[in-house]
Amino acid sequence: MKQLDSIAIIGVGLIGASVGLAVRRCGLAHRVIGIGREGSRSLAEALRMGAISEGTSDIAAGVATADLTIVCTPVDTIAGYVQTALDAIPDRGLVTDAGSTKASILAKVATHPASARFIGSHPMAGSHLTGPENGHATLFDQRPVIVTPDNENSEAALEQIEAFWQALGAQTLRLTPSEHDQAVAMISHLPHVVAAALAANTPAEHLPLASSGWADTTRIAAGDVQLWLQILNDNRDHVLKSLDKFGKVLTQFRDALATEDNDRLGELLQAGKHTRDRMEEQS
Amino acid sequence: MKQLDSIAIIGVGLIGASVGLAVRRCGLAHRVIGIGREGSRSLAEALRMGAISEGTSDIAAGVATADLTIVCTPVDTIAGYVQTALDAIPDRGLVTDAGSTKASILAKVATHPASARFIGSHPMAGSHLTGPENGHATLFDQRPVIVTPDNENSEAALEQIEAFWQALGAQTLRLTPSEHDQAVAMISHLPHVVAAALAANTPAEHLPLASSGWADTTRIAAGDVQLWLQILNDNRDHVLKSLDKFGKVLTQFRDALATEDNDRLGELLQAGKHTRDRMEEQS
């Protein structure tokens, strides 16, 4: 991807700061403009870390010269910021995001006259930690980024957004917004609910006995509650379907154990191991 | 703990080899005798790695001079090996194990005339990997080891076993065999079933989208199927109870999401985060 004049990042938390660090590491843009609330601690920290080259709380001014604007805010606020950015970007500009859901965001933006210049993205990278101080330049290295074209996006615009994420080290793939939401319900949102339920179900007096197994299985339960409330609500129907499928598989494990059906229990454990091993081979 | 003349390790897989490496690192014994099957690959590997100072397939000969014998074999075979060891150890000798369940093992050993010289142990450390080549000398560092006294064990014998694990860097605590089995059902065996069910429930076509969240939540599902079949069967009643408790909590998450009860869903996510954060503070 050829070097851009400037990139604007709306929201410089963990994801926004990581985008900034990655952009600056590979010299993708002369200017990296961070946009945050007036007096925001994150903006000051992102500037201090070198994740952005300048900061502002004025969205319109911040995106006015940006070849590319990336909205890295919590899911509920993305559509609003995208529309504010679309109102103010230059003619050559594009807008993308890093939200964990796609269909509802794209639907909200669809009414904007410049909606074709917004291309939805979702980098499958993150952390249970938050804030720019936990961001890093390699967060997207070798990670999948899902780009979700809708009917209005031009092929040229899609390719520019894909080239951007690839320049940060990511591997892009395309899904429709609905395919995206269904897939991430299963691979990301369901594991979050399961990890949270497992942690919530653990009596405090047993915690001193926790090994790395419990720690790994519950790690994402430490994620930000408000961010996850937004994500789960925004993708409610798909998450509920994934939960129901998971509940059926869990019942199969339970029944095999309760009826001492060792062949069946072994098959189920093997199915889990097979899928987990396969993921390891792919990564 | 004062230096011992010799320690015997029956079963030199990941746990047995790690015990050997840790014993040799801290110079706890002059001789570390590994015991495995005739022509066993693990025994040769443990010897090559320096996890043991000598190897044999003759249990009686291997434990004959051992101040301490540690049985590190799969759960189903532990009671048998403990009894074989009790028949052959010197008068001063003690036997312990590293099994993931305790009540059934202690019950089987109870009929042996020297059963008081067997003290049940369970180090809360391990890996989804297997084999001596994945063992390491620091596996027990700062890890809890549960020691499960039964009525026949002398206080002196219990303290010797505790001193042994502490010398390897572990922190010991005492639970009755039944308290142990109930606690590990919740903190270790339930997470294994949940991780396996989550992995088994994931469609293969979604795997390329898996992030570190999915990878961590399902990691232990890659564990050895036969080992886990034995553990789950051996602790069936407690695991079923833990599964039912977990199922109720998961249903609470589902109901809160389905009824759009955001306050309740937030409380549940917060309860999970609270427990997970608390574990982090303790470790």
CATH of residue A153 = 3.40.50.720
Interface test with B, best of A139, A147, A201 (most B CBs within 10 A): A201
Do residues A52 and A12 touch, judged by C-beta distance below 8 A? yes
Residue A216 at interface with chain B, using a CB cutoff of 8 Å: yes
Sheet of A118-123: strand order equals A54-56, A29-35, A4-10, A68-71, A94-97, A118-123, A144-148, A171-174
DSSP string spanning B228-271?
HHHHHHHTHHHHHHHHHHHHHHHHHHHHHHHTT-HHHHHHHHHH
Give the mean model confidence (pLDDT) for residues B15-26.
97
Neighbouring residues of A23: CB distance < 8 A, sequence distance ≥ 6: A7, A29, A32, A168
Task: List, as ranges, residues 107-166 from A with C-beta within 8 Å of B.
Answer: 124-127, 143-144, 146
Measure Cα distances from B108 to A64, A192, A281, B145 in Å: 77, 41, 41, 21
CB contact under 8 A, A269 and B228: yes
Residue B174 at interface with chain A, using a CB cutoff of 8 Å: no
Distance between CA atoms of A191 and A185, rounded to whole angstroms? 9
- B219 shares a domain with B205: yes
Neighbouring residues of A202: CB distance < 8 A, sequence distance ≥ 6: A210, A214, A218, B186, B187, B275
The whole-angstrom distance between residue A269's C-alpha and the CA centroid of its chain comes to 30
CB contact under 8 A, B243 and A236: no
The whole-angstrom distance between residue B55's C-alpha and the CA centroid of its chain comes to 23
Residue A64 at interface with chain B, using a CB cutoff of 8 Å: no
Nearest to B92 by CA among B63, B72, B71: B63
pLDDT score of A60: 97
- B171 shares a domain with B203: no
- A114 shares a domain with A40: yes
In terms of pLDDT, which residue wins out, A152 or B105?
Answer: B105
- pLDDT confidence of B11, banded at 50, 70, 90? very high
Measure Cα distances from B231 to A53, A231, A260, B83 in Å: 56, 37, 13, 20
Which chain A residue's Cα is nearest to B246? A201
For B61-73, how does the pLDDT look when each residue is reduced to its tens digit (9 = 90+)?
Answer: 999 999 999 999 9
The torsion defined by the Cα of A35, A39, A43 and A49, in degrees rounded to 10, comes to 150
Task: Count Cβ–Cβ pairs < 8 Å, chain A vs chain B.
Answer: 294
Nearest to B138 by CA among B18, B48, B266, B26: B18
Contacts of B216 in chain A (CB under 8 A): 216-217, 219-220
- B215 shares a domain with B78: no
Tell me which of B175, B207, B226 is where a domain ends: B175
Nearest to B34 by CA among B6, B62, B15: B62
Do residues A59 and A33 touch, judged by C-beta distance below 8 A? no
pLDDT score of A281: 80
CB contact under 8 A, A218 and B268: no
pLDDT score of A283: 63
Strand A118-123 versus strand A144-148 pairing type = antiparallel
Neighbouring residues of B230: CB distance < 8 A, sequence distance ≥ 6: B74, B75, B76
- A207 shares a domain with A171: no
Confidence check: pLDDT of B38 > 80: yes
As for how many domains chain B has, the answer is 2
Contacts of A220 in chain B (CB under 8 A): 213, 216-217
pTM over 0.90: yes
CB contact under 8 A, A214 and B188: yes
Tell me which of B153, B175, B197 is where a domain ends: B175
pLDDT score of A151: 74
Strand B144-148 versus strand B118-123 pairing type = antiparallel
The whole-angstrom distance between residue A13's C-alpha and the CA centroid of its chain comes to 12
Distance between CA atoms of A163 and B92, rounded to whole angstroms? 71
CB contact under 8 A, B278 and A190: no
Distance between CA atoms of A167 and A161, rounded to whole angstroms? 10
Do residues B123 and B170 touch, judged by C-beta distance below 8 A? yes
SS3 B120: strand
Mean pLDDT of the residues in chain B: 96
- A262 shares a domain with A126: no
- B167 shares a domain with B65: yes
Do residues B231 and B100 touch, judged by C-beta distance below 8 A? yes
SS3 B82: helix
Which chain B residue's Cα is nearest to A283? B208
Nearest to A146 by CA among A123, A129, A119: A123
CB contact under 8 A, B218 and A272: yes
- B252 shares a domain with B162: no
Domain of B260: which CATH number? 1.10.3660.10
Interface test with A, best of B227, B270, B276, B283 (most A CBs within 10 A): B276
Query: Which residue of B208, B222, B282 is in closest CB contact with A276?
Result: B222
Output the tens digit of pLDDT for each of chain A's 283 residues. 888 999 999 999 999 999 999 999 999 999 999 999 988 899 999 999 999 999 999 999 999 999 999 999 999 999 999 999 999 999 999 999 999 999 999 999 999 999 999 999 999 998 888 899 999 999 999 999 999 999 789 999 999 999 999 999 999 999 999 999 999 999 999 999 999 999 999 999 999 999 899 999 999 999 999 999 999 999 999 999 999 999 999 999 999 999 999 999 999 999 999 999 998 887 6
Burial B121-156 (b: 16+ CB within 10 A, else e): bbbbbbbbebbbbebbbebbeebbbbbbbbeebeee
DSSP string spanning A75-91?
HHHHHHHHHHHHHHS-T
Question: How many C-alpha atoms does B171 have within 13 Å on its Cβ side?
Answer: 8
CB contact under 8 A, B208 and A236: no
Which chain A residue's Cα is nearest to B261? A233
Residue A259 at interface with chain B, using a CB cutoff of 8 Å: no
Contacts of B203 in chain A (CB under 8 A): 186
- B198 shares a domain with B157: no
In chain B, which residue ranges form alpha helices assigned H by DSSP?
14-25, 41-49, 59-63, 75-88, 103-109, 155-167, 177-184, 190-200, 212-218, 225-234, 236-258, 262-282
Tell me which of B146, B175, B204 is where a domain ends: B175
Nearest to B249 by CA among A193, A28, A240: A193
Instruction: Tell me the residue type at B67.
Output: D
Could you give phi then psi for residue A211, rounded to 5 degrees?
-100, -175
SS3 B149: coil
CB atoms within 10 A of CB A62: 23
- B151 shares a domain with B197: no
Contacts of B191 in chain A (CB under 8 A): 198, 213-214, 217-218
B202: domain range? 180-282
- A107 shares a domain with A22: yes
Query: Which residue of A187, A257, A279 is in closest CB contact with B236?
Result: A257
Distance between CA atoms of B122 and B189, rounded to whole angstroms? 13
Distance between CA atoms of B23 and B167, rounded to whole angstroms? 8
- B194 shares a domain with B109: no
